[in-house]
Amino acid sequence: MENRIAIIVNKAIEKQTFPGCVVAVIKNGKRSIFPFGKYTYDVDARSMRADSIFDVASITKSIPTASLALLLIDRGELRLDDKLISYIPEFQNPDREEVLIWHLLTHTLDFDLRLSSLKDQEPDTILEHIFTARLKSKPGITYAYVNATSVLLGLVIERISRKPLDVFAAEEFFTPLGMKRTTFHPSLFPKEEIAPTEFDTWRERLIQGEVHDESAHSLSKKYIVGKPAFG
């Protein structure tokens, strides 16, 4: 199996699909981890490590954000048919009375808003745009995979748990599952253990150990949002 994986991955590296990666395989209860390539295309770049940490980007929408919401539902502290404004009264969208927790979990809020266009704004200004942005269709009608939905869900989780999202995630999700290298705070680890994401023309530097998503990066100056994490 390792040879088959190596052939596929090495072809991708040769095509410059990515400079390196880490592949984990679980078979018959046994876990094997295979690092391939390097952190960047530079000749003298660091080799990929079996325990390299990556920006997991939108996976954070489900792990831990949506999973923590499901935990609160299981505990009876949150319900699918609860109104969003019960937890975030600042949400002033024209359809505010109709937006439910169900819509956040199913990504059926079609915001007429591109958060990436707000990347140069201050965190509170970005949140204000999310709170007031109109929907292109009624809640529950259109599937729309956008960051604003997960930002709102993260805020709901914080207000119910009365803890910052990163703290609640560590207590209820990461630590119990033994996820010792998954965090909202990659600076806890040496930079050489973190794989770069890409060269970002907006920040004009290689992004390594900081949130890649532009609006999430801007929000993270003040808030832990339900979008960016590393693992």
Q: Where are the domains of the chain?
A: 1-6+14-52, 54-231
| Mean pLDDT to the nearest integer, 35-56 | 95
For the chain, what is the mean pLDDT? 93
Q: Are 228 and 55 in contact (CB under 8 A)?
A: yes
Q: What homologous superfamily does CATH list for 54-231?
A: DD-peptidase/beta-lactamase superfamily (3.40.710.10)
Tens digit of each residue's pLDDT (9 = 90 or more) over 197-213:
999 999 999 999 988 88
Tens digit of each residue's pLDDT (9 = 90 or more) over 178-192:
999 999 999 899 999
Whether pLDDT at 230 is above 90: no
Q: What is the DSSP string of the chain?
A: -HHHHHHHHHHHHHTTS-SEEEEEEEETTEEEEEEEEBSSSSTTPPBP-TT-B-B-GGGGGIIIIIHHHHHHHHTTS--TT-BGGGT-TT---TTGGG-BHHHHHTT---BS--GGGGTTS-HHHHHHHHHHPPBSS-TTTS----HHHHHHHHHHHHHHHTS-HHHHHIIIIITTTT-TT-BS-GGGS-GGGB---EEETTTTEEE-SS--SHHHHHHTTT---SS--B-
| Mean pLDDT to the nearest integer, 67-88 | 98
Helix axes 67-74, 147-161, angle to 10 degrees: 40
Distance CA 181, CA 62 (A): 17
